[in-house]
Amino acid sequence: MTASVAAPDQVVLVVDFGAQYAQLIARRVREANVYSEIIAHDLTADQIAARKPAALILSGGPKSVHVDGAPRLDPEIFNLGIPILGICYGAQLIAHQMGGTVGRNERGEYGRTTVSRSGDGGQLLNGLPDDWTVWMSHFDAVTEVPESFVSVATSPNSPVAALECPDKRIYGVQHHPEVIHSQFGQDVIVRFLHDLAGCEPSWTMKSVVEESVAAIKAQMGDSGRAICGLSGGVDSAVAAALVHKAIGHRLTCVYVDTGLMRQGESEQVVDTFQRSQGIELIHVRAADRFFEHLEGVTEPEAKRKVIGEQFIRVFERAQGGIEDAEYLVQGTLYPDVIESGTGTAAKIKSHHNVGGLPDDLEFELVEPLRNLFKDEVRAVGTELGLPDEIVWRQPFPGPGLGVRIIGEVTRETVSILQHADAIVREEIIAAGLDREIWQYFAVLADIRSVGVMGDERTYARPIIIRAVTSDDAMTADWARLPYELLEKMSNRVINEVDGVNRVAYDITSKPPGTIEWE
Ligand code: XMP
């Protein structure tokens, strides 16, 4: 099983010391138009030299350099002549392994801290103001620099807040330039990459498209058909568009219309792929089958299971129409690859698949997004001419509206929810909040309450509006929507959607809630 990924010649390797920072650093490097990859800290100098990196960045990490089992670098790495930037733990490790001293402070520094340049700030910090605000998170601190290094900044609890040895092209900062709360953070990263390490700013979305297309062509050669399941989401859409650019009509997409999509979504997928992009598309209208199997099913896990199973059956049957398909296109992203641990394994979480495709399908995988972060996937989508509605689509669960209807899922309940959900989406977009809010949608509860409309007593269902902010869906907070917006959504839903007489706003964060209701 191979995967078609573009691998540019120039790479910056981000050495992961076990905190959450490595991914963020890798993204910031790419924002500086330099391709980056994350590697484990136990690679040897030979292994690293073999990758011929343009530079190394040592990430932060949760340990103290003094504890047993604290991660180290192969010391030979410091003699390879590769430019190195150490961040937080990475900077302490440079000091510790090269003969300086890392002391245990009386107090650490957490959160916003003022850093002051020493002298002209050396090569790394030259040009920055005398003092600026950064984000720190450390207990230990470098107290003495190694021989031939100089200290170029201080902070209240870091006598050496930045150090460097221009001869060896090794630099370190105690703060986290990768987080947005650090002023001039990206400037520090850019200074290191472009000016000190001599990296070319050549990683652009245009280059990603060109290199990915070349890699897909190389993987698939001149023959063989590929199949791609479209979910309507951005990942499968961009993967399909890239593969189509590479192999044209040898790609067939399958879109399973479960009847559980949002209002207008199926039409849009067909419109975008078949009509605008000219991609061969099998549009399977399978709603009847899904509703039939969902009859009487109310327990959330049972619903998910029914939907997942039916999806696989329908997909397999559709794929029966493309006998010679040898390749399966998947929208696996770089964070999934990193989470799988090895950086090379082609493990796909069923959660990320379209409804969870079975693993015994005998295909060679084509995964053109394996090296990309989500924001890059969106940029590639735009570069390929996909519409904003798809490129900026919010995450949507595989089982669709099925897990946003509490109780039985029927044509009628789906229709009520689709209508209310369309109003919620329209109003959030009209208020200009759609890119700030991670997910926003409506949920239909299976209770009824009494109301009054005109002179009539009503006894109908409530709609719950859910809108959350998040970075990664692991944690989330309820969005502080303006009252006027909530009022507008509430009025419209009650006036326009038959069968609904009350609107509530969900003010539960995750944890303890989840984003979806089921
Ligand atoms: P929860 O509800 O667990 O959701 O906080 C976290 C994120 O995952 C999405 N989600 C799914 N995505 N298949 C998917 O592809 C699924 O079965 C599924 N269930 C939840 C959810 O929308 C949120 O973004």
Calculate ∠ Cα 125-42-174, nearest 5°: 25
The answer to whether residue 88 is catalytic is yes
Q: Could you tell me the fold of the domain covering 404-505?
A: GMP Synthetase; Chain A, domain 3 (3.30.300)
In CATH, the number for domain 12-196 is: 3.40.50.880
Residue ranges per structural domain of the chain: 12-196, 205-391, 404-505
Q: How far is the CA of 231 from the centre of ligand 1 (A)?
A: 14
Which residue lies with its CA nearest to atom 19 of ligand 1? 397
- Establish whether domains 12-196 and 404-505 are of one fold: no
Alpha carbon distances (Å) from 488 to 189, 427, 433: 44, 8, 14
* Strand bridging mode 251-257 / 225-230: parallel
Question: Given this model, what pLDDT does residue 346 score?
Answer: 30
Shortest CA distance to 420 belongs to which of 363, 501, 355, 343? 501
Cα diameter, the chain: 87
* The two structure tokens encoding residue 196: 């000190």
Shortest CA distance to 57 belongs to which of 37, 81, 80, 76? 37
Instruction: Please indicate whether residue 350, judged by its CB atom, sits closer than 6 Å to ligand 1.
Output: no
**pLDDT tens digits, residue range 52-110?**
999 999 999 988 999 999 999 999 999 999 999 999 999 999 999 999 999 986 788 99
pLDDT tops 80 at residue 477: yes
Q: Which amino acid is at 192?
A: F
* The two structure tokens encoding residue 320: 């029966």
Which residue lies with its CA nearest to atom 20 of ligand 1? 397
Question: Given this model, what pLDDT does residue 474 score?
Answer: 82
The answer to whether residue 484 is catalytic is no
Calpha distance 123→110 (Å, rounded): 26
Shortest CA distance to 86 belongs to which of 112, 65, 104, 103? 65
Q: Does domain 205-391 have CATH number 3.30.1490.20?
A: no
Task: Tell me the average pLDDT across 231-237.
Answer: 91
For 31, other C-beta atoms within 10 Å of its C-beta total 17
**Active-site residue (options: 178, 265, 516, 518):** 178
Asked if residue 467 lies in contact with residue 428, where contact means CB atoms within 8 angstroms, the answer is yes
Calpha distance 479→29 (Å, rounded): 30
The answer to whether residue 253 is catalytic is no
Calpha distance 508→479 (Å, rounded): 10
**pLDDT tens digits, residue range 269-307?**
999 998 888 999 999 999 999 999 999 999 999 999 999
